[in-house]
Amino acid sequence: MASTESLSQSFSALSIKPAASVSHKETSSPAEWKEALKSNPDAPGDFELIKTLVFKPKTAKNATPVPLVVIAREETETNSGALGKKLNLKELRLASEDLLKEFFNLDKNSLSPLALDENTFPRVVTVVDSSIANSSSVFALHAQSSSSTIFLSGKDIVSYLRHLEKEDLKVHEIDFEALKSETSAPAPAAQKAAPEKKKKEDAKIEGAIEIAIGVKKEVDFAAWYTNVLLKADMLDYYSVSGCYILKPWSYTIWESIQEWFNARIKEMGVENAYFPMFVSSKVLEREKDHIEGFSPEVAWVTRAGQSDLEEPIAIRPTSETAMYPYYSKWIKSHRDLPLKLNQWNSVVRWEFKSPQPFLRTREFLWQEGHTAHLTKAEAEQEVLEILDLYRRVYEELLAVPVIPGIKSEKEKFAGGLYTTTIEGFIPTSGRGIQAATSHCLGQNFSRPEMFNIMVEDPNDPTGRGKVYVWQNSWGLSTRTIGVMVMVHGDNQGLVLPPRVAGIQAVVVPCGITAKATDEERKRINDACLDLEKTLKKAGVKAKADLRDGYTPGYKFNDWEQKGVPLRLEIGPNDLKKEQTMSVRRDNGAKAPLPLADIQTAVPKLLETIQSDMFTRAKEIYDSRVKLVTDWKDFVPTLDAKCVVAMPWCEEEACEDDIKERSARGSEQTDERAPSAGAKSLAIPFDQSRWPKIISGKTCCPACGRLAKKYTLFGRSY
Amino acid sequence: MASTESLSQSFSALSIKPAASVSHKETSSPAEWKEALKSNPDAPGDFELIKTLVFKPKTAKNATPVPLVVIAREETETNSGALGKKLNLKELRLASEDLLKEFFNLDKNSLSPLALDENTFPRVVTVVDSSIANSSSVFALHAQSSSSTIFLSGKDIVSYLRHLEKEDLKVHEIDFEALKSETSAPAPAAQKAAPEKKKKEDAKIEGAIEIAIGVKKEVDFAAWYTNVLLKADMLDYYSVSGCYILKPWSYTIWESIQEWFNARIKEMGVENAYFPMFVSSKVLEREKDHIEGFSPEVAWVTRAGQSDLEEPIAIRPTSETAMYPYYSKWIKSHRDLPLKLNQWNSVVRWEFKSPQPFLRTREFLWQEGHTAHLTKAEAEQEVLEILDLYRRVYEELLAVPVIPGIKSEKEKFAGGLYTTTIEGFIPTSGRGIQAATSHCLGQNFSRPEMFNIMVEDPNDPTGRGKVYVWQNSWGLSTRTIGVMVMVHGDNQGLVLPPRVAGIQAVVVPCGITAKATDEERKRINDACLDLEKTLKKAGVKAKADLRDGYTPGYKFNDWEQKGVPLRLEIGPNDLKKEQTMSVRRDNGAKAPLPLADIQTAVPKLLETIQSDMFTRAKEIYDSRVKLVTDWKDFVPTLDAKCVVAMPWCEEEACEDDIKERSARGSEQTDERAPSAGAKSLAIPFDQSRWPKIISGKTCCPACGRLAKKYTLFGRSY
């Protein structure tokens, strides 16, 4: 963006004289902005807002995108589908905050034509609404910040933009009115080629921009997802790219998971501890296979204050190699076994792929358990016990179905013996997602040339035998929250399963008209407070929303966006009937509930919601796992947003081959979903849902070798 | 340390032929080492251990220390006091693990004469026991690891050391027997000069090395402290200097504190959240005063994988500047106030002073609360509410008395308006310690040129007024645990207040003789298990210690070291009398308790222990706060390990002056206690315990200006 000094130089060179220049509160929507200006005494009495939209066209995977900047009057309808067609740019999407930051170092609320300068103009395509130039209006533009505004004439805006032009770099003036009629004319060939684009347009939900989600889940899933997170107040973007702020509304879900999981692992004899976040490079690099999996993503501290450190120090990407030297020191006898430690912390993996909140972030919260056992049997039993706890976190708390199984050799944890996993599924994208993993490390880390974690064998009669301990490690992260949002959220926003909701039931006073007396108002408000109290006593996380100055409709929308499982309305009529009108967030079902036994009815209803949410999600997942026995069905099954269950040979070469062939098979590439080729998701423990594999006969449809077990393949996160 | 290759080169050059070379389990004491060797078939039948001790002499503050390495036969008494005198080295102390790491890259269990090589030898003073050279014994030396041993003759050891000598760098051969008689001869002048050194020797508790703490709290407090932490299994050293592992026995205390504090702040409407650990340099450096306080200690990430980052990114030393840009974004109206967020996380302050577990570490765990309010009054009320919760964490959970007050301008939080504090006291060192702080930031961070956190004033009738929000921040760290250990621990080890103990009562079977039948043994063990069960039902964290192969005496010591508040013994006699013998950890009091009402008696006794521990600690603290009205008493009061309460002018210049004069006043300097000069600790809220200050009359004893309030001064951590 242009600095203030260079701006004023340009202005005076171009004889641009702003009508006014004002400071105000930061604003995050056009409505707020307008309001801030209207109440400002230094602003002109009449003005129009300028909107500045940035779109990112579809770009080849590793190419630098060339954003499209559209400058228009607030009122102008800027149809991005038609615009894209005219400019020959594919699949225009509103740019992410990250991209805005990267290109303009501004957020979307601070954008304006003035974000374009000698540096940025050549890197974008600029479109200006042709009706600006000759308008007699005064236009409001942000001056590099959402809290300051400058007022310019349309002529000045265009002349500012024109002065940035170079020989082959022009501003496109577009008449959006004309564009509209151009595209409404029949153009069958073009339409056929772009059904996807047409759908993208449909993604905008009319009139819902301000308080609902704005785009449809089924149409632009990625935009829907971030919108839900922002509007439900779960998350905010952060000034360090790839990192996000977990706001209380999402953090409380993590606290519920922590509480539940902590109680259960403590019953198993696991103790919590805390190891430092730093790992010396020597220690980190001890296990070759293991570190290979992480080294490109390790963040290094090299300086403290003004001093360079003698040796760079890593921030843990996971703690195996940081912890196990101490396991070696602490475990001296079989009496010290089992050793079962867990820590709740954050780890850092500096991914260079595009980040996605909760699913792929550079720092994330998780727990990592690390245990050591005398026998393989004991270690293996624990691996499965933990995996089952993970399954229950998803299924019983988050109402998200998962399939437990084992990872292929290619997909297992680097350096471990084998990895068990629970695999989730996102129906909207048709992609699998690794929900949590529990690894049996075997003796790979304990053997003498590694960490040498060894005891004398208590079962050896000679007293000379040694045992290298059997180790496990297992982790569950805040990815849980992202999966839950993707599975349950809808076009009204978040849908929370009752067991993890920060508020389970919101009580909203209704039917208070402008003519209502203070007494009537008070009677209804008091009834709401009473209901809150009664429910809290019954163990329900309830809240009466008595905010003044908001309509019931506003409140309904607000709590729907935030996913509160149950709304209870109380109006004059309900009071008369001694009831409350309940509205379920998950399916919209409305039913009056008598206040008399509300303390049992609401908890029961919440449990019903919880179980209905799970059942629905499970039915969908089950219906999307498709048996494939012929390779020709493989890619079409993926393209139909399904997971493939296929008898598989379990050969790594075959897996590589499948990935390549299934990537080529599909036209679609989406940079936010990194792997368009299918990989193996899990070899499910429960093989009984498919026809028996006949040993020596059933073949792998991908390579023709003999199949071992049914394996799930899918595109995945 | 010398590499294996260079060692074998030296050996062959010197014609040294090891008698044997063996690998074994890592060992952490001479007894274990000996045992490991005796059971090894490849070790010689007869051998002596070599002990390698490293001492650090007193060194000027910023000078590099020159460690003293003493190599002696296991049996040789190496009197460090006498040795220091002979070599003219002051106050020899056993070197810390950090120093061993720095000089030799080895821990104390792996040290040996072979740690000396071309690099390390010139940096230390080396002393060798003269009786080694001509001994006919075979000696066991660690070969750069506590899990491998090499056997050499005395002659070979000395010849290895001699080959490292240079013109002016010789090995000192010392006859320790002769040294003993030299120093036992009367030397009154020398003795008078070194009473401290004599006392240091007394610090070793005879015969207690293996299972109790080994040094007396009153004599070598610093060594006592780390020994307690290690032996109580609270903590271990870590491969990154200044960072420590919190083991379950200490982490569980932190969990108790978290649970208690979380419940109370949630009642106050505070919500938990999580902000990323990274802060961009631009954001970090926004508040000048604030960052000045932290910048020398900030750790910077500059690289990810193999890529240098475009801009270095800081790891948070605290989160004010990381969070407040978002407060500015989120707070748009007075309806968004108060905003009260808290996070439990770790922060990094890369201190270059010597670290001390829990008290000064490069990464530490804490909570940081950050709130924003519409009015000053509301903010100020919260500051005090939080401070009182902190007081209660110390006094009610940890049984540690603290004094609440306000910090002087010099000692307040950089960038804030004022800082309230609770000040603790460590009787053994006579030093004050800042236990927790709650800051009123005023409008310093919200003002327009800072983070511009502003709302329209709802109380301004014109509707045009603006309010910059009032902010607080407050933090409590794992320092709590260190203070608790220092206050309550004794020469048997840790003493835990019942409310934070991971195990509150341990049940130990006693009186099972070798002649006991299996049935008798089972009867007693079953009674112990029954008691554990009964107590658990009554809400007591109880554990029956039925470990086989350990004597009751061993178990007593073990649990005493770990500080378990109550021991319950059950022997045949107790069974007959239907009682258990209770032994309190805090005062050793023994009393039989009838089993009949044990479920009420034990919780009651635990509460008594809790309250007795607090009362005792409070009496000591109170008795050590001394009123000083004449400057000449100031330094002697500090030297008597007391805190000064003095009418004070509150001038910064006076505080600087006091610090300087009180530092000069004292001979003692201790690098682990960084500030030997006194600073102001707090201006206590409760001024009533001292005579009234008469306005216009009572003077500051330090500078003679008029005094404002009684202020606590002391040496401090």
Residue appearing with tokens 């632009």: A220
Give the Cα separation of B499 and B252 in Å (integer): 11
CA of B489, closest CA in chain A: separation in Å?
22
For position A181, what pLDDT does the model report?
67
For position B95, what pLDDT does the model report?
85
Residues 431-460 of B with CB under 8 A from A: 452, 454-456
Task: Name, in order, each residue with C-beta under 8 angstroms of A79's C-beta and a sequence gap of 6 or more.
Answer: A176, A179, A180, A183, A201
Q: Which residues of B touch A325 (CB under 8 A)?
A: 239
Which residue among B238, B247, B277 places its CB closest to the CB of A273? B247
Q: How many CB atoms lie within 10 A of CB B174?
A: 22
Residues 123-152 of B with CB under 8 A from A: 147
CB contact B279 to A (< 8 Å): yes
Cβ separation of A296 and B306 shorter than 8 Å? yes
Q: Which residues of A touch B464 (CB under 8 A)?
A: 39, 41
Give the Cα separation of A498 and A398 in Å (integer): 9
Q: Same fold for the domain at A505-606 and the one at A628-714?
A: no
Residues 346-405 of A with CB under 8 A from B: 346, 348, 350, 352, 362-363, 365
For position B186, what pLDDT does the model report?
43
Identify from A107, A110, A277 which residue to disrupt to test chain B contact, counting B C-beta atoms within 10 A and taking the largest count. Answer: A277
CA of A275, closest CA in chain B: separation in Å?
5
For position B52, what pLDDT does the model report?
92
| Choice among A173-187, A446-460, B513-527 with the minimum mean pLDDT | A173-187
User: What is the dihedral angle through the alpha carbons of B353, B358, A248, A353, rounded to the nearest 10 degrees?
Assistant: 60
Give CA angle at A458 (A453, A459), nearest 5°.
120
CB contact B298 to A (< 8 Å): yes
Residues 559-578 of B with CB under 8 A from A: none
For position A414, what pLDDT does the model report?
87
Residue percentage of chain B with pLDDT more than 70: 93
B702 closest CA partner among B641, B673, B659 = B659
B658 closest CA partner among B673, B689, B637, B640 = B637
Kindly list the domain boundaries of chain B, sorted by start residue: 1-183, 228-278+317-488, 505-606, 628-714
Give the Cα separation of B420 and B416 in Å (integer): 11
CB contact A292 to B (< 8 Å): no
Between helix B479-488 and helix B248-267 the angle, nearest 10°, is: 120
**CB-based burial of residue A393 (10 Å sphere; 0-12 exposed, 13-18 middle, 19+ buried)?**
buried
Tokens standing for A645? 């269950």
**CB-based burial of residue A181 (10 Å sphere; 0-12 exposed, 13-18 middle, 19+ buried)?**
exposed
What dotted CATH number matches B628-714? 3.30.110.30
CA of B704, closest CA in chain A: separation in Å?
40
Cβ separation of A278 and B306 shorter than 8 Å? no
CA of B441, closest CA in chain A: separation in Å?
21
Instruction: Report chain B's C-alpha Rg in angstroms.
Output: 29
Q: Which residue of B has its CA nearest to A250?
A: B273
| Choice among A133-142, A222-231, B312-321, B647-656 with the minimum mean pLDDT | A133-142
Task: Name, in order, each residue with C-beta under 8 angstroms of A492's C-beta and a sequence gap of 6 or more.
Answer: A212, A213, A557, A560, A561
CA of A31, closest CA in chain B: separation in Å?
13
Cβ separation of A273 and B279 shorter than 8 Å? no
pLDDT of B607 > 70? The answer is yes
**CB-based burial of residue B537 (10 Å sphere; 0-12 exposed, 13-18 middle, 19+ buried)?**
exposed
Cβ separation of A300 and B303 shorter than 8 Å? yes
Whether residue A338 has a cis bond before it, omega within 30° of 0: yes
The answer to whether residues A299 and A314 touch, using CB atoms and an 8 Å cutoff, is: yes
- In this prediction, residue B2 has a pLDDT band, given cuts at 50, 70 and 90, of low
DSSP string, B168-180: TB-PEEE-HHHHH
- Give the pLDDT confidence of B11-25 residue by residue, as tens digits: 888 888 888 888 888
Residue A351, phi then psi, degrees to nearest 5 = -75, 145
Cβ separation of A298 and B283 shorter than 8 Å? no
Cβ separation of B283 and A239 shorter than 8 Å? yes
CA of A333, closest CA in chain B: separation in Å?
10
Higher-scoring residue by pLDDT: B310, A468? A468
Q: Which residue of A has its CA nearest to B107?
A: A329
Name the CATH superfamily for B505-606: Anticodon-binding domain (3.40.50.800)
Residue percentage of chain A with pLDDT more than 70: 93
- Give the pLDDT confidence of B332-390 residue by residue, as tens digits: 999 999 999 999 999 999 988 889 999 999 999 999 999 999 999 999 999 999 999 99
**CB-based burial of residue A201 (10 Å sphere; 0-12 exposed, 13-18 middle, 19+ buried)?**
middle
Mean pLDDT confidence for A514-541: 95
CB contact A344 to B (< 8 Å): no
Q: Which residues of A touch B295 (CB under 8 A)?
A: 305
CB contact A304 to B (< 8 Å): yes
Cβ separation of A272 and B248 shorter than 8 Å? yes
Q: Which residues of B touch A245 (CB under 8 A)?
A: 273-276, 326
Q: Which residues of A touch B547 (CB under 8 A)?
A: 335
Cβ separation of A26 and B329 shorter than 8 Å? yes
For position A17, what pLDDT does the model report?
86
Tokens standing for B228? 């307690």
Query: What mean pLDDT is reported for chain A?
Result: 90
Give the Cα separation of B602 and B409 in Å (integer): 48
Give residue A673's region: left, alpha or beta (phi > 0; psi -120 to 50): beta
Mean pLDDT confidence for B411-420: 94
DSSP state letter for B204: B
Tokens standing for B639? 């030297």
CB contact B278 to A (< 8 Å): yes
CB contact B26 to A (< 8 Å): yes
Name the CATH superfamily for A228-278+317-488: Bira Bifunctional Protein; Domain 2 (3.30.930.10)
B683 closest CA partner among B647, B712, B650 = B712
Report which secondary-structure segment, H or E, holds B73: strand B68-73
Report which secondary-structure segment, H or E, holds B422: strand B418-426
Give the Cα separation of B607 and B396 in Å (integer): 11
ipTM score: 0.76
Q: Which residues of B touch A243 (CB under 8 A)?
A: 276, 278
Give the Cα separation of A478 and A357 in Å (integer): 10
Q: Which residue of B has its CA nearest to A23?
A: B448
Give the Cα separation of A294 and A351 in Å (integer): 10
Cβ separation of B335 and A547 shorter than 8 Å? yes
CB pairs under 8 A between A and B: 173
- In this prediction, residue A566 has a pLDDT band, given cuts at 50, 70 and 90, of very high
Q: How many CB atoms lie within 10 A of CB A391?
A: 18
B1-183 CATH fold: YbaK protein (3.90.960)
Most confident range (mean pLDDT) of A30-39, A88-97, A429-438 is A429-438
Most confident range (mean pLDDT) of A581-585, B113-117, B666-670 is A581-585
Residue appearing with tokens 């300028």: A50
**CB-based burial of residue B538 (10 Å sphere; 0-12 exposed, 13-18 middle, 19+ buried)?**
middle
Give the Cα separation of A32 and B232 in Å (integer): 60
CB contact A243 to B (< 8 Å): yes
- In this prediction, residue A668 has a pLDDT band, given cuts at 50, 70 and 90, of very low
CB contact B230 to A (< 8 Å): no
**CB-based burial of residue A406 (10 Å sphere; 0-12 exposed, 13-18 middle, 19+ buried)?**
buried
pTM over 0.80: no
* Whole-number Cα distances in Å, B617 to A90, B17, B387, B688: 74, 59, 20, 21
Mean pLDDT confidence for A521-532: 96
- Give the pLDDT confidence of B90-103 residue by residue, as tens digits: 778 888 888 888 88
Instruction: Report chain A's C-alpha Rg in angstroms.
Output: 30
Tokens standing for B310? 């475009």
- In this prediction, residue B85 has a pLDDT band, given cuts at 50, 70 and 90, of confident
Cβ separation of B238 and A275 shorter than 8 Å? yes
Which residues is A627 bridged to in the sheet?
A: A645
CB contact B273 to A (< 8 Å): yes
For position B199, what pLDDT does the model report?
47
Cβ separation of A303 and B302 shorter than 8 Å? yes
Which residue type occupies B404? P
For position A23, what pLDDT does the model report?
87
Mean pLDDT confidence for A491-514: 95
| Choice among A84-93, A202-211, B121-130 with the minimum mean pLDDT | A202-211
For position B181, what pLDDT does the model report?
67
Q: Which residue of B has its CA nearest to A294?
A: B305
Residues 176-205 of A with CB under 8 A from B: none
Report which secondary-structure segment, H or E, holds B315: strand B307-315
Tokens standing for B2? 């010398």
Give the Cα separation of A164 and A162 in Å (integer): 5
DSSP string, A369-400: EEEEESSHHHHHHHHHHHHHHHHHIIIIIS--
